[in-house]
Structure 1
Amino acid sequence: MSERAKVVGLHGGLLVLLFALQFALPAYHHGNLARIMVLASFAIGYNLLFGYTGLLSLGHALFFAAGMYGAGLSVLHFGWSPAPALIVGLAAGAAVSALLGLLALRTAGVAFMIVTLMFAQAGYLAILYFGKWTYGDEGFVIARAARMLHGVDLSDPASRYFAALALFAVSLAVCLWLVRSRFGKTLIAIRENEERTRMLGYDTFARKLGAMVISGAISAAAGAVYGLLFGYVGATFASVQYSIFPLLWVLLGGAGVVVGPFVGTLFMFYLIDLSSGVTTAYMLIAGVVLVLLTLFAPQGLTGELRRRLWPWLP
């Protein structure tokens, strides 16, 4: 079997499996998996910047929140339907990531990480400051009647699952296509040796900016869809923890592997879920497991699979 066939078979098989699980899972896990697919799409956006371009950002909560508030406020204050609200959220995330990229990409390494973190915190504080419109820390609920997309009720569990699957499928396909394209290979070259890539004649700043805008747009789409599907928009999603989460999901699943973010998100979600059912000190259990994984699978779960068994994993 050719490498292309293996890649298509693996990623296509994952989508087919997720489609089939809609009809087999009990209600609790059905809802969990819908949430995981949306958050995994957020992690896919992060992986494009961190895993493939080598830029460690601590500001992705800003993009997720830009998409969420762009869509949510459009519905709340202007009465727009989900479709145009989603477009507004996507555009807001792309615009914010482009602006941040133009400023933050003038730095590198730790400085880049700190600048992205500071901008994300500024976004979080802005949400609290303009609480008259954003409802601050309490957030707001998007009414069920406002979550109708061409007659489809997005609050219905089945519709919500398929919408989450559609977002995940598009995010996965875009990421897979990008990393196998010339643009994606240039990003990997920048990650490995930016100076040499620049010497070969590539405009590394423009390509990193492009990666940041695409990453921000995917993250914003996840934020917008999350708000529309689950009916809540709050400042928590702009806080620093939502910049740390995608980093953890990507590291656990495998940075620089297309399916890594999904595996990491799934693993982390159920690790905390199952641990909390055993003890109130569930974060202690989660912490021990994460340390063990870091020690014995430093490249992440799918990263280790690529190193040991499947070197063709993109």
Structure 2
Amino acid sequence: MSITTKSLTLHLGLIALLFALGFILPAYHHGNLARVMVLAVYAVGYNVLFGYTGLLSLGHAMFFAAGMYGMGLSIKFLGLTPAPALAMGVLAGVALAVVVGLLALRTIGVAFMIVTLMFSQAVYLTILLFGEYTRGDEGFVIQQAQRVIWGVDLSTDQARYMAALAMFSVAMLSVLWLMRRPAGKVLIAIRENEERAQLLGYNVFAHKLGAVVLSGALSALAGAGYGLLFGYVGASFAHVQYSIFPLLWVLLGGAGTVIGPFIGTLFMFYLIDLSSGLTNAYMLVAGVALVLLTLFARAGLVGELRKRVWGWLP
């Protein structure tokens, strides 16, 4: 069996497994897994920039929030239906990513991290400033009647789960396809040695900008989808912690792996969920687990599997 066939079988198998779980999981885990899949789209987007291109952003919450507010405000004030509102959310994220990319990519290293953090804080403060429309930290609810797409009520458990699965499948398979194309190989080359990639004649700035835009688009899709599927839009999703979360998910699952962001998101979500049921100091439990993983699985859960067992994992 070729590497391409193995890879495709693995990722399609994961989608099939998630589809089957949608019919057998109890209600609590059914809802949790739907939430995990949407957040995993966010992690997949972050992984394009950090895991494959080697650009560490500390401000990705601005793209998540841009998608969420682009979708939510379109429904609230423009009266759009969910499908075009979702598209508006993604377009808002893409527009913001183009602007941020053109400016932030003039810097490198730590400066890039700081600039993205500054942009993200500016977006967060802008949301608070226009609280008359955004409702600030309080946020606003998207009514059930406004969450019906093509006759399907996305507020129901099964429809929400399948919509989350569809979003995650598109995001994961798109990145899998990209990483097998020449453009994806160039991103990896930039991550490994940017100067050498430039000497080989590649337009490094254009490829990095493309990575920022794609990452922003996927993150905005996650934000718009989250707001639409769970019926809430709020400024808390633009806060700095939502820029740190995807970094942790990607590091835990395995940076530069296609399936890693989902595994990392799933692991972190249930680690906090289970530990919070045992103690109020659940973040201490999560912190200890993160430290142990950092010490003994430095490449992440999927990254370690690639290093030790399945070297063909993309």
Please give the TM-score of this superposition, normalised by the length of structure 1: 1.00
Whether 1:129 and 2:129 are equivalent positions in the alignment is: yes
Query: In 2, distance between residues paired with 1:306 and 1:132?
Result: 50
Q: Deviations along 1:254-303, whole A, 9 cap, x unmatched? A: 00000000000000000000000110111111111110000000000000
Query: In 1, distance between residues paired with 2:105 and 2:293?
Result: 31
The aligned counterpart of 2:20 is: 20
AA at the equivalent of 2:225: V
The aligned counterpart of 2:270 is: 270
The aligned counterpart of 1:114 is: 114
**Percentage identity across paired residues of the two chains:** 71
**SS class of match (1:51):** helix
The aligned counterpart of 2:67 is: 67
The aligned counterpart of 2:295 is: 295
Query: In 1, distance between residues paired with 2:71 and 2:285?
Result: 36
The aligned counterpart of 1:35 is: 35
1:150 CA displacement: 1.2
Query: In 2, distance between residues paired with 1:222 and 1:292?
Result: 29
Query: In 2, distance between residues paired with 1:289 and 1:134?
Result: 37
Please give the TM-score of this superposition, normalised by the length of structure 2: 1.00
**SS class of match (1:222):** helix
Query: In 2, distance between residues paired with 1:121 and 1:48?
Result: 22
Query: In 2, distance between residues paired with 1:128 and 1:233?
Result: 13
The aligned counterpart of 1:143 is: 143
The aligned counterpart of 1:226 is: 226
RMSD after superposition:
0.4
Query: In 2, distance between residues paired with 1:146 and 1:23?
Result: 26
Query: In 2, distance between residues paired with 1:9 and 1:35?
Result: 24
**SS class of match (1:279):** coil
The aligned counterpart of 1:160 is: 160
Q: Deviations along 1:100-140, whole A, 9 cap, x unmatched? A: 00000000000000000000000000000000110111000
**SS class of match (1:138):** coil
Query: In 1, distance between residues paired with 2:290 and 2:114?
Result: 24
Query: In 2, distance between residues paired with 1:89 and 1:286?
Result: 32
Q: Deviations along 1:160-198, whole A, 9 cap, x unmatched? A: 000000000000011101111100000000000000000
1:78 CA displacement: 1.4
AA at the equivalent of 2:254: G
**SS class of match (2:193):** helix
1:149 CA displacement: 0.3
1:231 CA displacement: 0.2
* Number of residue pairs matched by the alignment: 314
The aligned counterpart of 1:306 is: 306
Where in structure 2 are the equivalents of 1:193-212 lying within 5 Å?
193-212=193-212
Query: In 1, distance between residues paired with 2:211 and 2:287?
Result: 31
AA at the equivalent of 2:305: L
Where in structure 2 are the equivalents of 1:167-206 lying within 5 Å?
167-206=167-206
**SS class of match (2:24):** coil
Query: In 1, distance between residues paired with 2:242 and 2:97?
Result: 16
**SS class of match (1:23):** helix
The aligned counterpart of 2:258 is: 258
AA at the equivalent of 2:283: M
Runs of at least 5 residues in structure 2 that lack an aligned partner in the other structure: none
